[in-house]
Structure 1
Amino acid sequence: MTTKVKFTNTSRSPFFATVRQRVDGYFTDKAISPHANSAMWAKALFFLVGYAIFYGLILSNQFGPWTMLGLAVILGVFAACIGFNVSHDALHGAFSAHPWVNKLLGGSFYLLGANPYVWKITHNIVHHTFTNIPGHDEDIEVAPGLVRLDPNEKLQPWHRYQQWYTIPLYSLASLSWVFRKDYVKFFKSRIGHHDTAAHPRREHFKLFMSKGLYYVFFLILPFAVLSLAWWQILIGFIVMHLAEGLVLGLVFQLAHAVEGTTFPLPDEKGNMQEAWAIHQLHTTANFAPRSPLAAFICGGLNRQIEHHLFPKVCHIHYPAITAIVKDTAQEFGLPYLENRSFGSALYSHFRLLETLGRQ
């Protein structure tokens, strides 16, 4: 994609200036920081310690194969929750006012077998700027050619059945991340239209070193200390990542690929028709906004509208600013998309896949 996308009409709508002033006013009036509070630190500690405990239980070699398999599933879910609740906020600079704290906690992304540097380019820069814009937002390219999320993509015969096979494909997301995605993204010259031809030398070292250590701790070390057959260990590793990938894939897709969200294209000059903040409202949706369990597990990603508008605000505050954002959007006559539950969002995603799979 050579045409550079531009949001040229940012001055036409005072929506973002208004909602930002109101959200800033909320933190000022309450005299609280937009970063992590004690509840957020407790939640981060819960997932990090839980991850360490389940990993230790597996390496203790004190359980039978079926129990070990169950522990592998739980470890995969905890890894995804670390990504949602710790890494994501830290890599956005939202966890702490101190950059070194964010950098340290952002390193928890390595526990997923993923690379923080590559993620900050593909997610923070590209996805958050060009949300749902085909050819620019690579987060909507689940499996190019196999899954059709871009209404402008050529329709293939197998797309008729994509609502049935796409969701199981999300299980492969984590395995792809560990063995393929980071390498491919790192060595691409461009992601969307963002130039990625030259990376700092230290990032080359970090990529290969971190991947190597992950393979050691999750493949070589278990082979060395566990009294299981090699194929049992391999199955456990795969199952762990299938659980992790399914959780990651579903949470991210339910925020941008449900009924009501759009996939807008720029004009021939690369100009978008809406201001950036309004574009976010058209391409993003919340799900289960009133569920304490969803808020705890998803790290605020069930409130993606608030996250996309205020990525520097820690997600622990999203429930408090949701009413501000929603009321302001309605005041300006703008959409505010939400599904009441995880189940309704999942069904909406299913129906969208079904719609896009037909002419």
Structure 2
Amino acid sequence: MAETYTDYKDVDQKQLQKDIDAIKKTIGATTEEDFQHLLKLERWGRASTLSGFAFILLVIYLDYSAYPLHWIAFWGIGIMGSFLIGVGNVSRWSNVTHPILHGAYDKVPNIPKRYTKDGFASGNRRWIDWLDWIKPDAWAFEHNIMHHYHLGEADDPDNVEKNLEWLHEAKIPTWAKYAFVYIFAFTWKLTYYAPNTLRILENKARASKKEEPTLKYELTPFTKNGLELWKSYILPYGLFQFIFLPLLFFPFGGMEAVLSAFVLILIAEAFANLHSFLVIVPNHSAEDIYQFSTPHKTQGEYYLRQIMGSVNYNTGTDLIDFGQGFLNYQIEHHLFPNMPHSFYQKMQPIVKDICKKHNLEYRQESVFKRVLMTVDLMVGKTKLRTIEGI
């Protein structure tokens, strides 16, 4: 028999707010220990990246003349290198960039500016801190403001069901819809996140001038927004990742080494896209997740929506959490976006107890189960739960 939870309108939102706000006093202030936890995650990500490139170098140094050693080396050692580079790529985004751009460590005494919201990936430091398809300031606005404070509402730019209505209505076989989603998962940072974050940032500028918003994003360089996308988003990362990095291998084997490195780095990019898709997209996208037809009105209602509109994955040690980018604590993160990752491990049992007290469903399941539920939502097989008039 399925458990019955308190109806949305019957939840004591004022008491819920008091209970959740009290968590801050229980956990305390951000300390040097929390900053050191961040540095550990950063080291793990860098070690993964460097190990991946070391594997690629090993592949290039192996004797290709002895068949079938070439293919064993390339598809064995080489793919392992690609996988590790992909893990490092995702870690740089989820374990480091994500909490820093939320300002999670800004209050640590004497913290270096490069680990603060205002200093990280700012200006030329983008090349050092977080060079990706996505421009840091565009992602910070799209994610930190529009997504977090409009979760499940009409203004949430990451509402998967809304964004893929065109696919639901497409007159194509169901298997083709599934095929599209699986292919999309390998390219989604470039084909979705980069142009969509630019669109959201452009709409912010348009709103300040009281102009009509841009309703679609563009991938071609033949429009104003498309040209900006290529100049500031696609080319900086694309040239560095797929031209500069492969050319570094030229001294170790000429153009053959460059080509091998290019192929393996391209595979690493596919791994990074798939990995990030796996841990990011299912957080708010399945038939048991709620969306809302109006903006939230109070802080208590805001907290309630973060719980009802989010799902956690399985949690555990730092290593397990590292592999999921600490996005397996999505409920805790959405309640307090500007807290360091180390806080979420401490908060989780408290949040679970609060949900139990208020008879609220606390969703937590394997990321692999959740991604299958997300794919069903993306193709239109299922839909989000919608609370009308709220």
Structure 2-normalised TM-score?
0.70
The one-letter code matched in structure 1 to 2:16 is F
1:297-326 deviation digits (Å, cap 9, x = unpaired): 223210100000011111122121111111
* Pairing 1:301-340 to 2, within 5 Å after superposition: 301-339=327-365
Are the structure 2 counterparts of residues 178 and 216 from structure 1 closer, same or farther at C-alpha, using a change threshold of 3 Å? farther
- AA at the equivalent of 1:175: L
Q: How does 1:1-359 map to 2 (within 5 A)?
A: 12-21=13-22, 23-28=23-28, 33=31, 36-55=34-53, 58=56, 62=61, 65-66=74-75, 67-97=77-107, 98=111, 100=113, 101-103=115-117, 104-106=119-121, 107=126, 110-133=130-153, 135-141=154-160, 144-148=164-168, 155-158=169-172, 160-161=174-175, 162-163=177-178, 165-176=180-191, 180-186=195-201, 188-190=202-204, 208=231, 212-222=235-245, 224-225=247-248, 226=250, 227-228=254-255, 234-266=262-294, 275-290=301-316, 293-339=319-365, 341-353=366-378, 356=381
Q: Deviations over 1:167-199 (max 9, x none)?
A: 44211113336874555444x3249989898xx
Q: In 1, distance between residues paired with 2:209 and 2:188? A: 24
Letter in 2 for 1:33: T
| Aligned-partner Cα distance in 2 for 1:195–1:123 | 22
Inter-CA distance 347–217: structure 2 relative to 1 (3 Å threshold): closer
- Find the structure with the greater CA-based Rg: 2
Change (3 A) 1:24 1:53: same
Task: Please list the CA deviations of residues 92-114 of structure 1 after superposition, one character each: whole Å capped at 9, or x if unmatched.
Answer: 11134248222455556623332
CA change 1:193–1:320 in 2 (3 A) is farther
Secondary structure, aligned partner of 2:361: coil
SS of aligned partner of 2:312: strand
Counterpart position of 1:200? none
Contact residue 110 and residue 116 of structure 1 kept, 8 A: yes
Deviation of 1:144 (Å): 3.5
The CA distance in 2 between the partners of 1:38 and 1:223, in whole Å, is: 33
Give the percent of matched residue pairs that are identical in Structure 1 and Structure 2.
18
What is the SS of the residue equivalent to 2:333?
helix
SS of equivalent residue, structure 1 residue 14 = helix
Could you state the TM-score of these two structures normalised by the residue count of structure 1? Answer: 0.75
C-alpha distance in 2 between matches for 1:211 and 1:185: 17
Checking the alignment, whether the CA contact within 8 Å between 1:174 and 1:241 is kept in structure 2 is: no
Shift of 1:45: 1.6
Q: Name the amino acid aligned to 1:284.
A: S
Q: Is the 8 A contact 1:281 1:305 kept in 2?
A: yes
Give the unaligned 5+ runs of structure 1: 1-9, 149-154, 198-203
Letter in 1 for 2:352: K
Paired residues in the alignment total 329
Secondary structure class of the residue paired with 1:251? helix
> Residue 105 of structure 2: SS of its match in structure 1?
coil
Secondary structure of 2:364's match? strand
Q: Deviation at 1:124?
A: 0.1
Distance in 2 of aligned mates of 1:99 and 1:52: 24
Specify the SS of the correspondent of 2:326: coil
Is residue 50–residue 78 contact of structure 1 (8 Å, CA) maintained in 2? yes
Report deviation, 1:219.
2.4
Runs of at least 5 residues in structure 2 that lack an aligned partner in the other structure: 1-10, 63-72, 212-226, 384-390
8 Å CA contact retained: 1:126, 1:194: no
Is the alpha carbon distance of 1:328 and 1:48 closer, same or farther for their aligned partners in structure 2, counting shifts above 3 Å?
Answer: same
CA distance in 1 between partners of 2:301 and 2:120 (Å): 33
CA distance in 2, matches of 1:69, 1:126: 37
Q: Which residue of 2 aligns with 1:4?
A: none
**Cα pair 2:48 2:84 within 8 Å, conserved:** no
